[in-house]
Structure 1
Amino acid sequence: MTDPAHDADTLRERALTTLTTARARTTLLTSCVEDPDLTAQHSPLMSPLVWDLAHIGNQEEQWLLRTVAGREAMRPEIDGIYDAFEHPRAARPTLPLLPPTEARHYASEVRGRVLDLLESTAFHGTRLTEAAFAFGMIAQHEQQHDETMLITHQLRRGPQALTAPDPEPAPLLTGPSEVLVPGGPFTMGTSTEPWALDNERPAHRREVPPFYIDTTPVTNAAYKAFIEDGGYDDDRWWTPEGWAHIRGNSIHAPLFWRRDGKQWLRRRFGVTEVVPPDEPVLHVCWYEADAYARWAGRRLPTEAEWEKAARHDPAGNRSMRYPWGDDDPGPEHANLGQRHLRPAPAGSYPEGESPLGVRQLIGDVWEWTASDFLPYPGFQAFPYKEYSEVFFGPEYKVLRGGAFAVDAVACRGTFRNWDYPIRRQIFSGFRTARSAGDA
């Protein structure tokens, strides 16, 4: 019989580790620049960094100290200021935000009380406390805002503030450029992953016809060929909405790229460099990904196709947690957690490939899919409808797989991200697919 105390100790340790990892990253992202950079708005698409910092603390207080522990609010007067649904990002600099020192103190005080709470919480009794879900939810929330703050750092003008080692060079990939995923049913989503969020649930069967999918994400070199072939000037490859968007906004290349004579340069976290040909392309919107796929005679994979490629184990006829199996991600599997500040070369992480031989499905770049963000059959909002339910619909496209900016706690084979098809500041790339019957 399993020892309940051991289970509780394991859950407590996992919650402590993920919360501590997230806070260390938050501290790095908010301490590497001076206060004026924290309070400035570097893009109308993003909040000031200091808003994210206090919002992280406010959400942690609301869910763990007030909801789980039933304690009185520490600073109820700031709840409205840090309500993400009450104030759009462009308007947040006009709010009476906590200054950096006060925001740090507030987030730190909340965390101290949360760690005390963690020591005494019994991980059963309610859906929020079962398997330490609420603590996992807050760790994921903080890591998602860390990713958002990293996007802000990329948009920020000025000298380099963040550094990290580059990924190891990848050996030349000598295998096929695409992989056949056999047709048939598979289990999509999850009903057992303890910290999975509501839009990942419940597990359900999906029938997927056979298809081919790229072995790796599309590279800068491949995307450059699309540019050089006049891809941005030929309306044949674009949806009407995409064509109107790129023409109306004079888009001719991925965000942060610029042409310098015969070569392309990009700006990456304050450094200008030659675009590396073997890296997955980054900072493209859904319209650009879709146009490239059409130009290449292919298409974007559906969300169900992407997940089957990432989770299906033909030998065991089951769905795994990750492409490599059920073990949590390690540095040998994927480029996650801001360990590097760029994608790894295409073909990296052979230990992280799927049983069918597809690589880099987790980490490196978020991958656009063809699918709208919609609920699974039997979806139930939990613990609040604003996390997922209010976003369901054709306005948002699904991205899968995470990126180098995503922590492992917020990235699973079932994890779903979504955004508007015009978004390019996010760490987005893609891979293409084709139906098995296509030439």
Structure 2
Amino acid sequence: MNQAQLQQMAQVVLDQNWNGQFTKPAPSLYPHQWNWDAGFIAIGNAYDNFGRAMAEMRHLFSAQWKNGLVPQIVFGDDPQARYFPGPGFWQAHRSAQAPEHIQTSGITMPPVHGFVLWKMYEVAADKAQAKAFLKEMYPKVLALHRYLYDYRDPEEEGLVYIRHPWEGGTDNSPIWDRTLSRMQIDRDQLPAYERKDLQKPKAAEHRPTQEDYDRYVYLVDLFRQHDYDDQKIYEECPFLIQDPLFNGILSWSNEALIQIGSLIGEDITEPMQWHELTVWSMNEKLWDEDRGIYNAFDLRAGEIIPVHTSSGLIPLCGEVPTQEQAEAMLRTLESPAFGGKDSGILLCPTYSMEAKDINYKKYWRGPVWINLNWLLYHGLMRYDMTEMADRIRKHSLELLSRHGFYEYFDPRRPAEGEIGCGTDQFSWSAALCLDFLQGEMSG
């Protein structure tokens, strides 16, 4: 398939998943609006449908909580939408901070919104319109970051914790295994629930396990029992993790807030202080000199989590590492752990290929995800590592053009069987394809 055909097909996916208010991540599996999905989707739409890109972001932030939190899910009003956990399970209304006019989940996701806004401005044809949009959105994104630093950084280190695997965006990542396994759960005391994600053939092969879901549900139940009070949750929650992906993305968005604030004449002291502290603390606390990667830190256990996934490479996008550290990260990417020198592997597997429990079809335990490839591509470009960046972009486009707009992909180029996994017609795969194609055409 040539580039023009791929571009057209990607646009069709976005058009078909648009419901007039927001873009569904996929036609049936994800029928509502998801937080970081909306950001990636807005980037794809910004090229040829800037109005829709703005509408996407406005709809997401219309559900912002009073304390600044931007929820992981904004629920639509389609009566046919079947998804677990739905608004009745989250019971976000228990919090006085939750919006009253719209239903949401009670957690957040990686804060992509700052760099999404800056990217939208960069590609906008009408700069005056885009600048007006930045002025509108800047205080909302600033409030989100202020929430994260005020409520999710108890030691004032500049490192934000997540309190649920869904907040990290990488639901069943091996990073979380040890922390989740320590949780003592009485399944007889769990609220009754029915998963909606196992209806497709082979779904169970690709999706998180039932044991994973029991722990996800346990945490949500804990949050709602505490009426989503951040301090009470912090005191009791067994899952408090400083994630390098989340904090690396936060760093990039802090930097974008500095750029936006400078452009529109705002005081940028606050985001500058956040940015400096986050970069410093990530390098002091999370950097693994021996492995050339960033680790996560378990605040509850007080220990580093020495599990190596591509999340540990994402701080490149926020320009967190020094040039020397970035070169060590490139060597890690080129190593057998991530297949960078292996011509048979499509970059970039989400879990170290040296791990005995890698599963190339299991959600965040080995497959390639287009959004992480996109983040990694932009991170490498920031350090002028163009050869590896180009390989990642080309591998991403190869997957999309040959196999379709799937949620994630088997990186091994198997001779037989499926490469595309999860759901198809996936919106961020289509949206980021459009951005990758711009790089291809200009490169």
After TM superposition, the score normalised by the length of structure 2 is 0.26
Say which structure is richer in strand: 1
Q: Which has the larger radius of gyration?
A: 1
- TM-score, with normalisation over the residues of structure 1? 0.26
Higher helix share: 2
